[in-house]
Structure 1
Amino acid sequence: MIDFSADISSLMLPNGRSVAGSLDSEDEVKRVLDQISDAYGFRGFTVLAVPDSGCHSLAAQAPLTTWPSEFFRRYDGARLMDGSPVIQKLRRSTIPFTYDAHQLARRRLDGKGDAAVSVFEEANMPRGVYLPVHDPAGHRGAIAFGGDRPVVSNDELQALNLWAGFLYGRWAEVSSRDRRGAASLSRREIECLRWAAAGKTTVEMARIMALSEYTVNHYLNRATRKLDSVNRVQTVAKAMRAGLIN
């Protein structure tokens, strides 16, 4: 049985190196996923929430990803999720599997096989893996790696599956913590973050909100502590991911 609570240093990359880090933030989880993607020869990764049948947007289900934004734009523009064999498989299976865009195209029943191949080819991700995972509440998810490298071996697939289970658990934990912190933000803290996201300086925010610079900084610093961020930029990013500002 896999111990997903094990220290990350016990997991090894293909080059024999371990990955150091406490994984206490979403950025830390992303950094490690980036390292894994590079070490195994992929072009990028995505953390995916397995969507319900009524969802038509892949981008909306990918809260953490390095796949190109143009890929998601074209994928969703062509409404490819509806007939996706991958999504259907993720809804019913917990077994990791490889994908090949050309082979999957032949399994589509909606006549969009060529469009799907084009989207993956243009992103240089015709092949890769999907690794089903779940959070402590039982919600289904997956971590996917895509690229143009040869098909992964069984040993590589099992190693990637181990990484996926560990990292998804950590990501779910820190994301839940961030959402709890975001929910505790006051109206004024959110207002300050909205203006910060719009590029306003502290002086400009103070003038707009009819507050002192000291008070504005107080609200921003308090929001930073609540969201467990290291700086204002990260605080704004977390608030945006939590849907508090846009």
Structure 2
Amino acid sequence: MSNRFDIFSASQEPFADSGESACFLRSARDRFGVLNLSYWFLGSSNAVPDRMTWFSTYDENYTAIYMRDYSPLKDRAFHLCFSRLLPLDWEEARNKDETVQNIHEVAESFGIGRHGISIPIREPGVGDAMFSVNFECDDREWGQVRKDIATELHLFAHYYHQRMKKLVSARPTSAEFDLSPREREVLQWAAEGKTAWETAQLLKLSESAINLYSAKAMNKLRARTKTQAVAIALRYSMLN
């Protein structure tokens, strides 16, 4: 891990936009010599997260699958991470929860390393965040690798969060998207894993009507897919 990132001489200015923050994260990954970095901003961690923002260097195909099949709503690693002050070792999370094991198996199939740590960041009045660092190394080397970088990356996680705060607090509110109650309901059932046909049976509507509500919601949320629409709706607290 040569040429490490010196957070004390780096810019302290808030990120101007999401593009700058994503680019900076990729640069930091390369400077630290790690496999991936990931930052989640959560409006709350005491119950269901009511706001979500995710920046990572993971394969985009994996992030789409994760949001479709899991998200923080179903990923117990978030609950484990926020139950402590010190970083959570991914191995501990895998050993405690079968769903986390499944998530990691999917992640590894997309080239994401087996080892990592997730750092909880709590800030009353702003929101909680989770910063994760991913490594590719032999199981026997992991203990030493973690020891070598844990403190430095813990500092960097908080540094990145400080630069992110203005950006995440400036996000639009759910009211700006103006979803109708029925459009929200259709997305809510989609978030629960229901197909259009199953949703139609539950709401006593035709399947074509469900597809129409989904299409309207996607258009309002500027989403290319229903999965992306669900992710945006979850991010802005539009679903229960």
Shorter chain as normaliser: what TM range? 0.5 to 0.7
Determine the structure 2 residue equivalent to 1:121: 108
- Write the distance in 1 (CA, Å) between the matches of 2:156 and 2:6: 14
Q: 1:77 to 1:24 in 2, by over 3 A?
A: closer
Structure 1 residue 61, shift from structure 2 partner: 3.5
2:187 is matched with which residue?
Answer: none
Q: Counterpart of 1:70 in structure 2: which amino acid?
A: N
- After the TM superposition, which residues 13-24 of structure 1 pair with which residues of structure 2 at under 5 Å, given as runs? 14=4, 19-20=10-11, 22-24=13-15
Where does residue 131 of structure 1 map in the other structure? 119
1:134-191 per-position Cα deviation (integer Å, ceiling 9, x unaligned): 34515221111224245333341111111111210220123224549x999xxxxxxx
Q: What TM-score results when the alignment is normalised by the length of structure 2?
A: 0.54
Secondary structure class of the residue paired with 1:71: helix
Q: 2:86 aligned with 1:95, yes or no? A: yes
Determine if contact 2:45/2:79 at 8 Å carries over to the other structure: no
Q: Contact (CA 8 Å) 1:95, 1:131: kept in 2 or not?
A: yes
Partner of 2:96, secondary structure, is coil
- Partner Cα separation in structure 2 for residue 119 and residue 73 of structure 1: 12
Distance in 2 of aligned mates of 1:178 and 1:54: 19
**1:85 CA drift (Å):** 4.8
CA apart distance, 1:25 = 1.5
For this pair of structures, how many residues does the alignment match?
A: 174
Which is greater in Rg? Answer: 1
Give the aligned partner of residue 210 of structure 2. Answer: none
Amino acid in the other structure paired with 2:54: P
> 1:236 is matched with which residue?
none
Residue number among 14, 27, 32 corresponding to 1:35 in the alignment: 27
Alignment partner of 1:106: what SS?
helix
- After TM superposition, the structure 1 stretch with the greater mean CA deviation from structure 2, 147-156 or 163-172, is 147-156
Q: Secondary structure at the match of 1:128?
A: strand
Which residue of structure 1 aligns with residue 179 of structure 2?
none
Alignment counterpart, residue 153 of structure 1, candidates 141, 146, 154: 146
Q: Which amino acid aligns with 2:167?
A: V
Q: 1:25 to 1:105 in 2, by over 3 A?
A: same
TM-score, normalised to structure 1, is: 0.53
Q: Which has the higher contact order (CA 8 A, sep 6+)?
A: 2
Aligned-residue offset at 1:62 = 4.2
Q: Provide the residue aligned with 1:63 in structure 2.
A: 54
Question: Which residue of 136, 142, 150 maps to 2:130?
Answer: 142
* Aligned partner letter, 1:44: N
Measure, in 1, the Cα distance between the counterparts of 2:70 and 2:109.
17
Matching residue of 2:66: 75
